[in-house]
């Protein structure tokens, strides 16, 4: 138990938490928080709706990820160098927004939001690659959990605290403060350790564009693994796409009630879920963790059905929101850890960006389907369909169980080698 808890104090884990915060902070500043600024400034709904296009870089980040594998900045190495470059420009761009107002500079702020999204997506590429490269095999589940926790804390700050600040001190002071908070990521980058094994970057066009695909596809059951990545979180994404609408329209809870419950209990459930999930992976292994967490993700969506009978019952709503986020958090910790384990250190930036983009495909396209199901068939069928959408991912997991076992065995060998090296160094 003592050894298990000691991993929390590892510098790599703490840096991963801070970098997760740095990755999560810009997201709301170019989306929901900026939209709130536009809304209170009297900007039309049409223009506010178009603001969603600023988030496109997050979807297409894999297109320039190979360049971040290929080219090495002059300072801090391949991963930390790109992280620092992106954080500098994020800080500068967020700071630039204090010189403009939505009613007079709508287009300028939209362009700045696009730049924030671009540099934020680029930072994600570098941070994800760095986390994958620097964490040891046995640290990846907890590292994934800490990254998610840091990300969610940052979203709470830039999406919740920012709105309160704006109401008290104004939008310009709020964005100035958020620009200062980006310094947390820069400090983490500067103090973060380099990977123990420096890997030679790709040297030519063929190697940094074609080779990452070829490297992944030559693995056993590669196609099944890619399909699994698309489908594993699909049921969870389906249920989550209209959860707040369900609580407001069907359960008839107020905006304030939903906001308080979702922000507080949802946040707490995710934090505890990711941490618990990471510790469970270390104890029971990847396959059983992904299978158990996948089933719990599926079942936890049905908690919302109880609200159809109880109505606006705060206790039951709290249980449903906390339970669903807790189970989703456990699944996320194991899933993100798995993605890190699937990447080749030579092509980490590109391969992780591609895999994470694949995992977002369902989340992007499932919304319209969810709306049709809820409207045409009702909420009971809606949550039951979310269970059906969870089944393919679980079946695919069972299909490539052998590949999971091989990866787990590789990690075991790495741990034994690490222990052997440490023993040799002390004699």
For 39-106, the DSSP string reads: HHTT--HHHHHHGGGGGHHHHSGGGTHHHHHH---SSSHHHHHHHHHHHHHHHHHHHHGGG--TTT-H
For residue 33 the two structure tokens come to 């928080």
Place 422 in a pLDDT band, splitting at 50, 70 and 90.
Answer: very low
For residue 326 the two structure tokens come to 């807790």
Of residues 243 and 107, the one with the higher pLDDT is 107
| Gap between the Cα atoms of 329 and 146, Å rounded | 11
- Close Cβ partners of 70 (under 8 Å, ≥ 6 residues apart): 201, 202, 208
Report domain extents, the chain. Answer: 1-201, 211-415
Q: Is the pLDDT at 40 greater than 80, yes or no?
A: no
Is residue 287 within 8 A of residue 343, CB to CB? The reply is no
Burial status of residue 209 (CB atoms within 10 A of its CB: 0-12, 13-18, 19 or more): middle
Choose the weakest-confidence range: 23-27, 345-349, 411-415: 411-415
Place 84 in a pLDDT band, splitting at 50, 70 and 90.
Answer: very high
Topology match between the domains 1-201 and 211-415: yes
Of residues 203 and 292, the one with the higher pLDDT is 292
CB atoms inside a 10 Å sphere around CB 49: 10
pLDDT at 282: 75
| Gap between the Cα atoms of 184 and 21, Å rounded | 8
Choose the weakest-confidence range: 4-13, 154-163, 253-262, 415-424: 415-424
Average pLDDT over residues 247-275: 75
Of residues 298 and 196, the one with the higher pLDDT is 298
321-331 pLDDT per residue, tens: 889 889 988 88
Is residue 340 within 8 A of residue 135, CB to CB? The reply is yes
Place 259 in a pLDDT band, splitting at 50, 70 and 90.
Answer: low
Burial status of residue 259 (CB atoms within 10 A of its CB: 0-12, 13-18, 19 or more): middle
pLDDT at 49: 61
Pick the CATH number of 1-201 from 3.30.70.120, 1.10.10.60, 3.20.20.70, 1.20.1250.20: 1.20.1250.20
Place 95 in a pLDDT band, splitting at 50, 70 and 90.
Answer: very high
Place 419 in a pLDDT band, splitting at 50, 70 and 90.
Answer: very low
Name the average pLDDT for the chain. 78
110-139 pLDDT per residue, tens: 899 999 989 998 998 888 888 877 877 677
Query: Minimal CA–CA distance to 16: which of 416, 336, 345, 319?
Result: 336
Query: Minimal CA–CA distance to 382: which of 248, 250, 262?
Result: 250
Is residue 390 within 8 A of residue 294, CB to CB? The reply is yes
Q: Is the pLDDT at 229 greater than 90, yes or no?
A: no
| Gap between the Cα atoms of 119 and 129, Å rounded | 15
Place 410 in a pLDDT band, splitting at 50, 70 and 90.
Answer: very low
96-113 pLDDT per residue, tens: 999 988 878 888 888 999
Q: What is the pTM of this model?
A: 0.67
In the numeric block, the tokens 């160094």 are attached to 425
Q: Is the pLDDT at 316 greater than 80, yes or no?
A: yes
DSSP H helices, 219-254, are 222-231, 234-240, 243-245
Is residue 130 within 8 A of residue 79, CB to CB? The reply is yes
CATH of domain 211-415: 1.20.1250.20
């Amino acid at each position: 138990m003592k050894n298990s808890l000691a991993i929390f104090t590892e510098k790599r884990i703490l840096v991963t938490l801070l970098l997760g915060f740095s990755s999560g902070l810009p997201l709301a500043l170019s989306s929901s928080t900026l939209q709130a600024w536009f809304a209170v400034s009297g900007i039309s709904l049409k223009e506010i709706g178009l603001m969603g296009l600023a988030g496109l870089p997050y979807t297409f980040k894999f297109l320039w990820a190979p360049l971040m594998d290929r080219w090495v900045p002059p300072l801090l190495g391949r991963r930390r160098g790109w992280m620092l470059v992106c954080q500098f420009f994020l800080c500068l761009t967020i700071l630039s927004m204090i010189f403009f107002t939505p009613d007079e500079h709508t287009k300028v702020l939209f362009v700045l939001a696009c730049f924030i999204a671009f540099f934020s997506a680029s930072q994600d590429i570098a941070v994800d690659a760095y986390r994958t490269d620097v964490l040891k095999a046995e640290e990846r589940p907890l590292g994934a959990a800490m990254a998610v926790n840091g990300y969610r804390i940052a979203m709470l700050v830039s999406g919740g605290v920012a709105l309160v600040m704006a109401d008290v001190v104004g939008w310009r002071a709020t964005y100035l403060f958020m620009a200062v908070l980006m310094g947390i990521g820069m400090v983490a980058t500067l103090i973060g350790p380099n990977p123990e094994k420096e890997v030679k970057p790709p040297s030519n066009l063929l190697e940094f564009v074609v080779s990452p695909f070829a490297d992944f596809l030559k693995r056993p059951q590669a196609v099944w693994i890619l399909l699994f990545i698309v489908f594993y979180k699909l049921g969870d994404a389906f249920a989550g796409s209209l959860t707040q609408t369900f609580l407001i329209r069907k359960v008839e809870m107020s905006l304030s009630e939903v906001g308080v419950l979702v922000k507080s209990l949802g946040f707490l459930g995710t934090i505890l879920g990711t941490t618990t999930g990471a510790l469970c992976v270390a104890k029971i292994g990847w396959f059983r963790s992904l299978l158990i967490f996948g089933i719990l993700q599926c079942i936890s969506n049905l908690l919302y059905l109880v609200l159809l009978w109880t109505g606006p019952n705060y206790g039951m709503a709290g249980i449903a929101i906390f339970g669903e986020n807790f189970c989703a958090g456990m699944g996320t910790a194991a899933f993100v850890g798995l993605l890190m384990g699937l990447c080749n250190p030579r092509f980490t930036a590109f391969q992780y960006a591609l895999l994470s983009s694949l995992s977002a495909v369902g989340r992007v396209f499932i919304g319209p389907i969810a709306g049709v199901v809820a409207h045409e068939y009702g909420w009971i069928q809606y949550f039951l369909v979310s269970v059906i959408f969870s089944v393919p991912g679980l079946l695919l997991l069972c299909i490539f169980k052998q590949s999971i076992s091989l990866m787990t065995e590789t990690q075991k060998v790495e741990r034994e080698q690490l222990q052997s090296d440490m023993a040799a160094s002390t004699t």
